[in-house]
Amino acid sequence: MLQQSPKKFDVVVIGSGAGGGTTVRALTEKGVECALLEAGPMLDPFTEFKEHQWPHEVDHRGAEPGGKAYFGKGKPFGYFSTTSGGWQLEGEPYTVGEGSRFQWFRSRILGGRTNHYGRMSFRFADYDFSPYDKDGLGANWPISYQDIAPYYDKAEAFIGVTGSREGIRSAPDGVFQPPPPPKAHELLIKQACDRLGIPCIPNRRAVITTPLNGRAPCHYCGQCGRGCQTVSAYSSSQVEIFPALETGKLTIFDNAMAREILTDQDGKVTGVSYIDKKTRTEKEIHCRVLVLAASACESARILLNSKSTRFPRGVANGSGVVGRFLMDTVGFSLNGYVPTLEGLPRYNTDGFGGAHLYMPWWLFEDKKLDFPRGYHIELGGGYQMPGVGFGAGTVSRHGGFGPALKENIRKEYGCFVNFAGRGEMIPNNLCYCEIDPEVVDQWGIPVLRFHFKWSDYEWKQARHMERTFAEIIQTMGGTVLGGPQRGDDGISVGGEIIHEVGTVRMGSDPRTSALNAFNQAHEVPNLFVVDGGCFVSNPDKNPTLTINALAWRAADYLAEEMRKGNV
Amino acid sequence: MSEHRSIANPGSGLSRRDLLRRFAAAVAVAGHCTFSPEAARHVHRLAHQEREATGSYVPKFFNPHEYQMLERLAELIIPADQRSGSAKDAGAPEFIDLLCSQNQELADLYTGGLLWLDRQVERHTGQPFLEASRQQQEEMLGLLDAEARRLEEIRSAERFAVFEENTNYGGFRDYRSVPSGELGPGARFFVWLRRMTVDAFYTSPMGIADVGYRGNEFLSEYVVPEEAIEFVRKNSPIE
C-alpha cells in the first residue's frame, strides 16, 4: 500500500533550481500553498559551502584523499566547489547511444546547480525569439522579446544582476547593479578588442554590489563557485526558497526522487509518485497543479516515464517532441601567455568571481559568415589563488626544476589569459534523449539514453572562435598556447557546458511542441514545465536568467488561472 | 550598527564553525551596512592557529630512507632562496606521504620511482642518491626533466587522436604507456614528483607569499590600484 501524503497541495513543484525556486517564491508570495520535491538533501550553507578556506587548511590541499583529483576522480570543478553532484551519480546512471558523446551534470541538493553556477546573466536579444525567420533554421518561439522583457526586469531587480547600459542589440540592457571596475589585464584585453572591433563591456552576473532585500553586497572573494555564505551571489536555495519557507506556505520534501506523474481518466494530473530516498519507500503526493522544474532532461525523463493508456508516449507527449531538440551551448576555449603582463604590480584580482568584462556577439549583421548563429566570449586571467595544479602552465612551457622553475613561476604568475566562447547551437535530429529500455536506476526508474552530434554549423562557429581568440591574444602581444590541430578538442562535448535545454519545448502548434507560450502543457492544463526544457532555441546567452524570467511569468499566469478557476 | 563591531571574543573557545555561523548571521542582519572584515579575518586566524598547533609530522607510509629522499628531492625541485623556503619547508614530503598512505596506485608510483632513482644514481656515480653530490643529484634530475619534455611532446601529438572517456575531467593522462627509453620510468616518476611538490609548495602560506597572491579577502569595495592600471597603459603594445 503506497503511503499517501494526507494533504493535497495547491501546487507541487519538482526540482529546486532556478525554475523551481522562482516558482515557489512567486507562488507563495501570492498565498498559494506549495510543496517542493528535491531529489537531494536540504542545504546547509555552513557545512556545504567551503567559502574562504585555503587549500592548506585541509591536509590534502584540495587534491582530495589519496590524490583523487590527480586521477580525474575528484569533485568536478575542484574540491572547494559546491557542486553536490557531478557527471556521474552513484546508482543513478544514464547511457549514451553508440557514436554519440554526451555528458550530463546533475546536482542533488536544494538549489541544484544554482549553488555553484557561473552566474552569467544575459538577456536574449529580440532576434533570438524568431531565429527561423532570420535563417530558416530551427523554430521560432511563441513569445517575443516584448512578452518576456517585463519579467527580465523583475528577475534582474530581484536577483540582482550587474551591468551597464550599452545599447547593443545582441545584448539588451536591463535593470542593473553597478558593475565592479575592470582589472588591469582586462584593460589590456579591452584595448585589443577595441582594436579588433569587438565590444568588450562590463560583465553581467547575478552578484549584488549594493545591498538588496537584506542580502549583503559582494565582498569580492571571487569564490562564487564555492557557494556564497553572505548570499551576495544568487542561488535559488538562498534567494528564493529560504524566503519562501518563511511565508509558511511552502513544504519541502527533500531526498524525494520523482518517479511518475499520476493522472485521472480525464487526463488531468492528480499528483506524483516519488521515492523517499531516506526510507527507500514509494510515496504519493497529490495536488491541483504540477510544475516540473527538474532540469530539461530530468523533466523529459519524468514525462516519458509517465505512460498510461491515455498517454501511451508519456504525459504531454502526444506530439512526440518530448526528449527531442536537445541542445547544449557550443564551447571552445583558448589560452594565451602575455609577456606584456610580466612585472605588473601584484594586487588582489579576485573581484566578484569571474571576469569583470565580457564580449557580447558583435557580428549579428554580418552576412558573410560560414555559420548561422553567434557566440559571446568569456575571459579569464589574473592572480588566481594557488591551488592544486598551480604553476602547471609554466611547467608545461619550460619544464625544469630548482631556482629556474621557482623564478619562472614567479615571473609568469598572472600572465596567462583564457578566452571561452559560448555559442548557439542549431537543434538537429541527431540530438535527443529517450528512455533506455534496458537500464533502470537504483530506484527502479528507467534512465535516459542520450544521442548527440554537433553539425557543421557548430564546428565552423568553433573555428571562428579559435581564430578570434588567437587574434585577441596576439594583439595583446601574447602567444597562443597549445597547437592548432584540434581533433576532438576542437569543440566541447555535448552537455559539457551544462546548458542543456529544449527537450520539452514550447510553441504555438500542439503538433510540434509540448507547451504553450505560458509553459503549460498543451494536452494537460494543470501541468507546467518551467526549466530549460521549454526552450525553443538556445541562443548564446547562458540560460539561467531566461529560466528565471519564464518561470516567474508562468507563475503569474498560473496564479491567475487558478484564481479564475481555469485550472 | 557600528562598522567594525566584534562578533566574537578571541579566546572564548568557540569553534570555527560557530564563528562562521555567527559571522554569516551578522552579515545577514547587517544587510544594508558594511560588515566587519576584522571579524571575518579573526575567524580565519583561528583556523591557522589550530593548524600550527599540530606539531611535527610522523610519516604514515614511507620508510625513513624513502622519506629522506623525498625531503632531498623537495629541496632540489623548489629550493630555498632569498624570498622563501624550500618545498621541504612548505611540507611537500608530508603531503606526498599522506596521499600515498591513502592510495596504493600512487604509493606504487613513488616507491617504484624512488627505487629506480636510487639505483640509477648509484649506477652512474657509484653512490646511492642521498650520498651523491648535489651536482650529481641535479644532473640526474636534469636528464629526467629533458626526457619528460620529450615524452610530453610525443603525448600531445598523440592526444588529439585519443578518445577520452565520457568526461572532460580526465585529469592526468600520463599513466598511459608511451614509447620510452632507459629513462622512461624515472621521467614518469619525476613528473609526478614535480607536480605534487609544486602543488604542496604553492598552496602553502610560504608559496602564497612567494608568488604574492593577495586575495581571499573580505573587501567592502573592489578597487584596482592606479599603479596596475598605469603599468598596463605604459606597457601595452596597442597604441
3-class state of residue A550 by DSSP: helix
Question: Which of A185, A37, A50, A215 has its CA nearest to residue A116?
Answer: A50
The closest CB to that of B44, out of A52, A187, A389, belongs to: A52
Query: How far is A290 from A306, CA to CA, in rounded Å?
Result: 13
Quote the minimal CA–CA distance from A320 to chain B in Å: 28
Please tell me which of the candidates A103, A187, A400 has its beta carbon nearest to residue B167: A103
Q: What is the pLDDT along chain A (567 residues), one digit of tens a residue?
A: 567 767 899 999 999 999 999 999 999 999 999 999 999 999 998 888 998 999 999 999 999 999 999 988 899 889 999 888 999 999 999 999 999 999 999 999 999 999 999 999 999 999 999 999 999 999 999 999 999 999 999 999 999 999 999 999 999 999 999 999 999 999 999 999 999 999 999 999 999 999 999 999 999 999 999 999 999 999 999 999 999 999 999 999 999 999 999 999 999 999 999 999 999 999 999 999 999 999 999 999 999 999 999 999 999 999 999 999 999 999 999 999 999 999 999 999 999 998 999 999 999 999 999 999 999 999 999 999 999 999 999 999 999 999 999 999 999 999 999 999 999 999 999 999 999 999 999 999 999 999 999 999 999 999 999 999 999 999 999 999 986 656 667 899 999 999 999 999 999 999 999 999 999 999 999 999 999 999 999 999 999 999 999 999 999 999 999 999 999
Q: Which residue of A has its CA nearest to B234?
A: A340
Question: What DSSP assignment string belongs to A48-70?
Answer: H--TT--GGGSTTTTS-GGGGGG
pLDDT, greater one: A310 or B19: A310
Phi and psi, residue A423, nearest 5°: -115, 165
pLDDT at A489: 73
Q: How many residues does chain B have?
A: 239
Euclidean distance between CA atoms A319 and A325, whole angstroms: 13
Q: Do B107 and A70 meet the contact criterion of CB atoms below 8 Å apart? A: no
Closest CA to A121 of A200, A238, A234, A241: A234
**Contacting B residues, span 109-148, partner chain A, CB-CB under 8 Å:** 138, 141, 145-146, 148
Interface test with B, best of A54, A189, A448 (most B CBs within 10 A): A54
CB contact under 8 A, A340 and B30: no
Nearest-CA distance from A480 to chain B in Å? 15
Of A248, A539, A384, A63, the residue nearest B100 (C-alpha)? A63
Chain B contacts of A403, Cβ < 8 Å? Answer: 79, 81
**Cell matching residue B117:** 632513482
Give the C-alpha separation, A133 to A140, whole Å.
7
Indicate yes or no: CB of A350 within 8 angstroms of CB of B216.
yes
Q: How far is A198 from chain B (nearest CA, A)?
A: 15
**Interchain CB distance below 8 Å, A348 and B37:** no
Distance from CA of B118 to the nearest CA of A (A): 19
Q: Of A30, A28, A35, which is closest to residue A7 (Cα–Cα)?
A: A35
Identity of the residue in A45, A181, A341 whose CB atom sits nearest the CB atom of B222: A181
d(CA A118, CA A108): 18
pLDDT of residue B157: 61
Q: Select the residue from B95, B154, B213 to test the A interface by mutation, using most A Cβ atoms within 10 A.
A: B213
Beta carbons within 8 Å of B89's beta carbon, 6+ residues apart: B80, B206
Question: How wide is the angle at C-alpha A488 spanned by C-alphas A482 and A492, nearest 5°?
Answer: 90
Q: Which residues in chain B have their CB less than 8 angstroms from residue A80's CB?
A: none
Pick from B31, B212, B237: CB nearest A215: B31
Contact A347 B239 (CB under 8 A): no
Collapsing DSSP states into helix, strand and coil, what is residue A422?
strand
Handedness of CA A452, A456, A460, A466 (dihedral sign): positive
Contact A551, A296 (CB under 8 A): no
Give the residue from chain A lying closest to B57, CA to CA: A59
For residue B157, what is the DSSP state? Answer: H
pLDDT, position B166? 30
Contact A168, A201 (CB under 8 A): yes
In whole angstroms, what is the distance from residue A317 CA to residue A310 CA?
11
Closest CA to A141 of A129, A123, A124, A127: A129
pLDDT of residue A7: 86
- Subunit contact A493:B168, Cβ cutoff 8 A: yes
Q: Which residues of A touch B23 (CB under 8 A)?
A: 229
Q: Measured between CA atoms, how close is B192 to chain A, in angstroms? A: 9
Q: What are phi and psi of A53, to 5 degrees?
A: -70, 140
Note whether B15 contacts A: Cβ–Cβ < 8 A: no
Show the beta-strand stretches assigned E in A293-410: 330-337, 357-358, 375-380
Show the 3-state SS of A168-211.
ECCECCCCCECCCCCCHHHHHHHHHHHHHCCCCEECCECECCCC
**Could you give the CA distance from residue A1 to residue A23 in angstroms, rounded to a whole number?**
32
**Chain B residues whose beta carbon lies within 8 Å of the beta carbon of residue A67:** 99, 102-103, 106, 196
Going by the DSSP 8-state scheme, the letter that residue A518 receives in this structure is T
Interface A–B counts its CB contacts (< 8 A) at: 263
Q: What DSSP assignment string belongs to A239-307?
A: IIIHHHHHTT-EEEE-SEEEEEEEE-TTS-EEEEEEEETTTTEEEEEEEEEEEE-S-HHHHHHHHHH--
Residues of B with CB below 8 A from A489's CB?
159-160
The C-alpha cell at A110 is 536544494
CB contact under 8 A, A476 and B235: no
Distance from the Cα of A396 to chain B's closest Cα (Å) equals 8
Q: Mind telling me how many Å the CA of B2 is from chain A's nearest CA?
A: 15
Rounded to the nearest angstrom, the gap between the alpha carbon of residue A77 and the centroid of all alpha carbons in its chain is: 14
Query: Edge to edge, what strands does the sheet with A432-440 contain?
Result: A95-96, A446-451, A432-440
Cα(B126)–Cα(A292) distance, integer angstroms? 73
List % helix, strand, coil for chain B (3-state, nearest 5).
60, 0, 40
